[in-house]
């Protein structure tokens, strides 16, 4: 498959299922006097692009301040090094299991159910044990 990797979820998609998106929403940054550079954009899958749009459109920065510098520290513009999501103190890591990896996901789901937990809650427990709780 030739295609691209979503900058948010790291999923691999055929080109027809990806979309180029402004890292800083056009509504916030407007037209750049020098034009836009490639690093101003991110390749997103449709699902992540819709989630980003909804989150951005409800962000106080989008609604009131319109400061691009705030957007650049958001998860949606910089998922590997963010300090907030729509100005809320949240950290997020998206994980996707492809093809042969889905067996790992199924095992996680089984273990989470046995512990009467959701998969994200169970993964947090595993990570906390590995890196140490704060």
Neighbouring residues of 83: CB distance < 8 A, sequence distance ≥ 6: 73, 74, 89
- Dist CA 11 CA 92 (whole Å): 16
Q: What are phi and psi of 7, to 5 degrees?
A: -70, -15
Rg of the chain on CA atoms, in Å: 17
Per-residue pLDDT at 98: 86
The CA-based angle 16-71-94, given to 5 degrees, is 55
**Considering the entire predicted model, what is its pTM?**
0.83
Beta-strand relationship, 41-45 and 18-22? antiparallel
Q: Tens-digit pLDDT profile for the chain (134 aa)?
A: 456 899 999 999 999 999 999 999 999 988 766 566 888 999 999 999 999 999 999 999 999 999 999 999 999 999 999 999 999 999 999 888 888 999 999 999 999 999 999 999 999 999 999 998 65
A 10 A CB-CB count for 35 gives 7
Per-residue pLDDT at 1: 44
Closest C-alpha to 81, from 69, 93, 64: 93
- Name residue, tokens 């409800």: 58
Token digits of residue 87:
């100005």
């Amino acid at each position: 498959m030739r295609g691209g990797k979503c900058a948010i979820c790291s999923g691999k998609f055929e080109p027809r299922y990806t979309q180029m998106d402004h890292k800083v929403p056009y509504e916030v940054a407007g037209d750049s006097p020098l034009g836009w550079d490639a690093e101003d954009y991110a390749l997103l899958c449709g699902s992540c692009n819709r989630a980003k749009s909804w989150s951005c459109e409800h962000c106080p920065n989008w609604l009131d301040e319109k400061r691009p510098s705030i957007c650049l520290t958001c998860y949606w513009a910089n998922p590997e090094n963010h300090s907030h999501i729509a100005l809320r103190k949240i950290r997020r890591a998206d994980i996707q299991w492809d093809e042969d990896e889905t067996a790992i996901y199924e095992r996680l789901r089984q273990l989470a159910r046995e512990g009467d937990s959701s998969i994200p809650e169970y993964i947090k427990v595993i990570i906390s044990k590995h890196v140490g709780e704060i």
